[in-house]
Amino acid sequence: MMPLIEELSKGWRAWAAAGLLAALAGLAGVFTLPVLDRDEARYAQATAQMLQTGDFVRITFLDEDRNKKPVGIHWMQSAAVALTTGEAAREIWAYRLPSLLGAVLAAIAAALMAGRLLGARAGLYAGSLFGVTVLLGTEAGIAKTDAMLAGATAFALYALTRLRQAPGDALAERRRWAVIVWAFTGLGILIKGPVTPMAVGLGALALTLWEARAGRSDGGYWPALKRCALWLRPLAVWPGPVLAALIVLPWLISVQIATDGAFLREALGDDLGPKMISGDEGHWGPPGYHLLALALTLFPAAFFLPAGIAAAMRALKAGGESALAARALIAFSLPVWIVFELLPTKLPHYVLVAFPAMAGLCAWGVVEWARTRAVWRWTGAALSLLGASIWAAALGYVTVTHEGSVVLLAGGLAAIFALLALKLIAGLRGSGAAALMAALALGLVWHSAGRGVILPSTNLSPAYFAAQLAKTADLRPAGAPVISTYTEPSLVFSLGGEVRLTDIGPLTEDWLAPQGDAGQTLSPAFLTQGPALVVIDHSRLPREGEALDAALTLIALLEAAACRTGEVSGYNYSRGRDVRLTLHRTGPCE
C-alpha cells in the first residue's frame, strides 16, 4: 500500500487524485436527484431566466428581482447549460456542473496547500480526504454558490501560503502570488460577496499576529509585528487590487444602474444584515453549532482530526518549519470558524471555507498516526461512530417514512458500516494508511448510496413527479401557462415557461361567479382565457368555513371543465407536510 501512496503523492499525481475523488463523490446524485427546494431551484430558475431573456446583469426569479447574492454562479451555470442541454431541457444536472467543478478545485487547492506546508504525502491525504467529505460532496451536487466559493477561497488561501513561503528577495515571485490571491478573492466576491475576503483577511491577520508574538525579542512586540508583516506588502501593489476590481466592479456598477440602486441595498440590508443580528429565516443556532455538527459535516475525515490537532500542538512546541505549518493551518481555519460560530444565523455549509485547512490537519494526523496517543485515536473513532450512526439513522428514517427502497437502504448501510469497521480496526491497530484508504472508500460509498440511490427512491420530489406526469399525460399544451397553488420553486423550474404561483383564495375570487340560488359556476373570463395547466395543492386548502366551501366548489368545477386531469402525491420537506397535487388541463383537447 505504501509504494502506491508514495507514487501517487509525486508531483501532479497528488492533486489529480484529489480532484478525481472529489469528482466521483460529487457526481453521486447529480443525475439522479431532482431539483431541490428552495435555494437550488431559485438559483437554477434565475439562471434559466437569464438564458431566456439574454439579460446577464439582473438576477430575477419569475417577475421579481433576486437581489441577494452576486451574479458569478449564474454566469457559470449559464455557460454550463448553454454548452450542454440548453435552457428548454430543464435538466438540473447541467446547472450543477459549476458546483462540481468548484468542489474539484477546492480539493486540488487543499492538496496543494498541505503539500507545500507538510510534504507530498500530506498533500495527497488532505485533498483526497476533503474531496470525499459529506459537506463538500453534497455541495458539489447542488446548483448554488457554496462549492465554487470553497474552490475560490481554497485557492486564495493556497496562494497566500505561497506568498508567505516566498523568499524575501524573490520580488517577482511574491508579486505573482499576491496577484493570484487578489484574483481568487475577486472571484469569491463575485460568487458570494464578503466570505472569501473575510477568510483570506482573517487568515493573513491571524498568521501575522501569531508569528509576531512567537518571534518577538527584547525589542518588543511592535518591531516584531512590523518585521513579520513584511510578507504582506506585495498585496498592496496595484496589479492585484486592480484585477480584483476589474472582476467585480463592471457587473456591480451595471446591476446598481439596472436596479436603481436596489441590489446593494437589498443584498446588504435585507439578506446579509438580518443574518448578522438574528436567526434569519428560522436558521438560528447557538455558538458551538458547527462544532457539534463536525462529526457529520467532516465525515469520514473527522476520524483523523484529533490526531492532526495533536500533531500541530507538538509542532508548535518544537518550533521550526513545522511550527509555521501549524500556525498557517490553524490561522486559515479557526478565525473564520469562530466568526460563523458567533453569527446567530447558522447553516452547516457556512464553515465549508474553513475545511481546506482543516483537511490539512487531518492529513497531518495520518502522517503522524504512529506517534499519536491512544486517547486521540479513540476520540477520532468516537467522532466517526457518531457521524456514521446519525447518518444511518437519518437515511433509515427518510426511507421508511417517505416510501424509499428498503432494499437499497439495507445494501447501502451494510457497505457503510463494513467500511467503517475496517477504518476503525485499522486505525486503532496503528495503521494510518489502511485507515485512510478505508475512509476514502467510506466517503465514496456514503455519497453513492445516500445521495445517488437512496434519496432519489423516496417521495421527496412532488414537483418532479408533477412535471413528469404533465409531460407523459399531455397535461400541458405547448407554450401554455401554469397556474399553481403549489408554490415551491422546484415546480417553477421543473415546468419552466410562464408560471404563476398563487393561493387558492385569489383563484376562487377570480374564477367563481354566482349563479343565483343554484350556487356558483366558473366565470366566463376563465372559460375564455385559453388553455392552461392548473395545479392544485390540496394540503393548502382552507381548513373550514366559506373559504373551504368555495375552494371545493372551484376544484369540482375545474375537474368537470378540464379535458384531462392527473394526480401525484409526495412530501414537501420545505413545509414539512404531505401533499397531494391535482393537475388539470383546461381548454380544448386536441
For residues 502 and 574, give the distance between their C-alpha atoms in angstroms, rounded to a whole number.
Answer: 17
Task: Provide the edge-to-edge strand list for the sheet that holds 577-586.
Answer: 499-501, 482-484, 532-537, 577-586, 564-572
Last residue of a domain, one of 375, 407, 425: 375
Q: What is the pLDDT of residues 288-302, one digit of tens each?
A: 999 999 999 999 999
Q: What is the pLDDT of residue 271?
A: 84
Task: Provide the number of structural domains found in the chain.
Answer: 2
Contact 299, 134 (CB under 8 A): yes
Report the helix count and the strand count for the chain, using DSSP H and E.
28, 9
Contact 362, 305 (CB under 8 A): yes
Residue 108 inside a domain? The answer is yes
User: Based on the domain organization, do 172 and 296 belong to the same domain?
Assistant: yes
User: Three-state SS string across 338-398, please?
Assistant: HHHHHCCECCHHHHHHHHHHHHHHHHHHHHCHHHCCHHHHHHHHHHHHHHHHHHHHHHHHH
Residue 68 inside a domain? The answer is yes
Q: What is the pTM of this model?
A: 0.96
User: Based on the domain organization, do 471 and 359 belong to the same domain?
Assistant: no
Q: What is the pLDDT of residues 155-186, one digit of tens each?
A: 999 999 999 999 888 899 999 999 999 999 99
pLDDT for 531 beyond 80: yes
503 — phi, psi (to 5°)?
-90, 165
Looking up cell 465525515 gives 299
To the nearest whole number, what is the mean pLDDT of the chain?
94
- Encoded amino acid at 221, one letter: Y
User: Based on the domain organization, do 109 and 232 belong to the same domain?
Assistant: yes
Residue 389 inside a domain? The answer is no
- Encoded amino acid at 405, one letter: S
User: Based on the domain organization, do 112 and 207 belong to the same domain?
Assistant: yes
User: Based on the domain organization, do 344 and 466 belong to the same domain?
Assistant: no
Residues paired with residue 566 on neighbouring β-strands, in sequence order: 583
Grid coordinates representing 159 are 496562494
Residue from 291, 488, 296 nearest 395 by CA:
296
Which of 134-148, 206-220, 238-252, 444-458 shows the lowest mean pLDDT across its residues? 206-220
For residues 342 and 276, give the distance between their C-alpha atoms in angstroms, rounded to a whole number.
Answer: 9
Last residue of a domain, one of 337, 357, 375: 375
Quick one: pLDDT band at residue 220, thresholds 50, 70, 90? low
Helices (DSSP H) in 133-238: which residue ranges?
134-140, 146-165, 171-192, 195-215, 221-228
- % of the chain exceeding 70 in pLDDT: 97
Q: What is the pLDDT of residues 473-486, one digit of tens each?
A: 999 988 899 999 99
User: Based on the domain organization, do 345 and 472 belong to the same domain?
Assistant: no
Q: What is the pLDDT of residue 11?
A: 84
Q: What is the average pLDDT across 273-286?
A: 78
Contact 159, 180 (CB under 8 A): yes
User: Based on the domain organization, do 344 and 468 belong to the same domain?
Assistant: no
State CA 501 to chain mean position distance. Answer: 26
Q: What is the pLDDT of residues 397-422, one digit of tens each?
A: 999 999 999 999 999 999 999 999 99
Last residue of a domain, one of 314, 347, 375: 375
Residue 417 inside a domain? The answer is no
Contact 73, 503 (CB under 8 A): no
Quick one: pLDDT band at residue 24, thresholds 50, 70, 90? very high
For residues 418 and 255, give the distance between their C-alpha atoms in angstroms, rounded to a whole number.
Answer: 53
Q: What is the pLDDT of residue 218?
A: 53
**What are the C-alpha distances in Å from 80 to residues 190, 286, 511?**
17, 38, 41
User: Based on the domain organization, do 359 and 507 belong to the same domain?
Assistant: no
Alpha-carbon Rg for the chain in angstroms:
27
Residue 435 inside a domain? The answer is no
Grid coordinates representing 115 are 503539500
- Look up the domain containing 33 and give its range: 2-375
Q: What is the pLDDT of residue 273?
A: 83
pLDDT for 524 beyond 70: yes
Q: What b/e sequence results for 122-155 when a residue is b if at least 16 CB atoms lie within 10 Å of its CB, and e otherwise?
A: bbbbbbbbbbbbbbbbbbbbbbbbbbbbbbbbbb
